[in-house]
Amino acid sequence: MLDFGSHQALMHDLRTLSDSLDHLQSQLGPRGANVPWETIQALVATRRGLITQTEDLRHQLKKGSDRIADLKRQKLPAEEAMTALREVRAQIQALEGDLRAAEEALEHEALRIPNLPHTSVPTGCTEQDNVELRRWGTPTAFSFKSRSHVELGEALGILDFKRATKIAGTRFSVGIGHGAQLERALANFMVDLHVTRHGYTEVLPPVLVNRQTMTGTGQLPKFEDDAFRIPQEDFFLIPTAEVPVTNLFRDEILPEEELPIRYVAYTSCFRREAGSYGKDTQGLIRVHQFQKVELVNFTLPDQSYDQLEHLTHAAETVLQQLELPYRVMALCTGDLGFSAAKTYDLEVWLPSQQRYREISSCSNFEAFQARRAEIKFRSKGGKPQFLHTLNGSGLAIGRTLVAILENFQQEDGSITIPKVLQPYMNGASVIHSRDRKVQ
């Protein structure tokens, strides 16, 4: 079990911002480059000044109350002192309103502060500084000229990108026949595996969520430009099932004995891919809508890093069962997601690119999301505490489909179906290129 005692990622509260802002800023370093530190510092100073003024006036109020009581005991006139006391009360009331406004503004700006990396996270600025931990399988090599998943899918007639563009736009796809069936087979296989082998409970959440839900997991306010929004109701299409599933317990206190809780959800996911102009413009790698099986864990703080290993193993098992070569990367501080304290990326081998590409991110958020969403646990006889949340893709369906098409292609353009998927494909073993039928 990793030592997390010195880690303070859960401490993005008003007290920490007031007492340790400089320390927090130095710990984040380049990771906090886009945080409005000057605005936060000004709000911290305003809040501190208002608290001091309010406390001084409350001290005056107490002294004034004691003086009035003393005057009344002596049967002396107290009207002047009472008038002065009413003025002090009015000043306190006004200052309390200003303090609430300052704290609301500070809390809003604090939502832009990312989580602190765990002490075990490699130091670095870009993905080039990520650390490879292990590999499984050997990168697939062919004795013939291999083709990309786009070429294979279109030749087989199981993927149609042109008609998807016609009906929706770029960065969409249509699965046809056995292309659609293979996606469904992957989803059923993954969910069954996680439920039967890894102890997850299946849930089916909404794919439209409200602003508070998106804020709870850290998508808002920072990533609002990357989300699809329905303005009439201020709903958002989910970028991942992590968002609704984590928020199932928002504003709740769970009994300690119920933890850990492990949920698996299969949903559609939606991302604008803002900032990805020119990247992976063809195929299924970077699209606006895709299917994904997501793993979400709720756990006790002293068990969360053990749970991260369990979750990562569950995602790795999918790739191993599908016989897809992959590697595990520990993300460096500069490549870490906004809400994560530590992340492992699983990268699958893609022959067409001769490189590994990310297919799953498994992250421990510690108490970062729990604090934003007010998710706590209570031990017997103890006070409520923030629990820790984790999530990971188990796996992204589209990218898994890409990996299968490219790694299991045959010289004649057909695709061998991985053995574990054949029961989900009505026993078929091959998607054939000549007649576009499964044999």
Domain ranges of the chain: 36-110, 127-431
Q: Name the catalytic one among 271, 363, 371, 372.
A: 271
User: Alpha carbon 289 to chain centroid distance?
Assistant: 17
Known catalytic membership, residue 250: no
Q: Three-class SS string for 257-274?
A: HHCCEEEEEEEEEECCCC
* Length, in residues, of the chain: 439
> Cis bond leading into 260, ω under 30°?
yes
Residue 404, phi then psi, degrees to nearest 5: -65, -50
Predicted TM-score (pTM) above 0.85? yes
The CATH class of the 127-431 domain is alpha beta
What are 127-159's pLDDT values in tens digits? Answer: 999 999 999 999 999 999 999 999 999 999 999
What are 256-314's pLDDT values in tens digits? Answer: 999 999 999 999 999 998 655 556 668 889 999 999 999 999 999 999 999 999 999 99
Place 378 in a pLDDT band, splitting at 50, 70 and 90: very high
**What integer best gives the mean pLDDT of the chain?**
91
Q: From 388, 395, 394, select the one nearest 261 (Cα to Cα).
A: 388
d(CA 439, CA 435): 10
Q: What is the mean pLDDT of residues 11-36?
A: 79
Percent of the chain exceeding pLDDT 90 equals 79
Known catalytic membership, residue 294: no
In the chain, the largest separation of any two C-alpha atoms, in whole Å, equals 108
Which pLDDT score is estimated for 17?
A: 74
Residue 123, phi then psi, degrees to nearest 5: -80, 135
Q: Name the catalytic one among 148, 366, 399, 406.
A: 399
The residue with tokens 């296989």 is 189
Known catalytic membership, residue 361: yes
Q: Name the catalytic one among 173, 361, 363, 414.
A: 361
Known catalytic membership, residue 286: yes
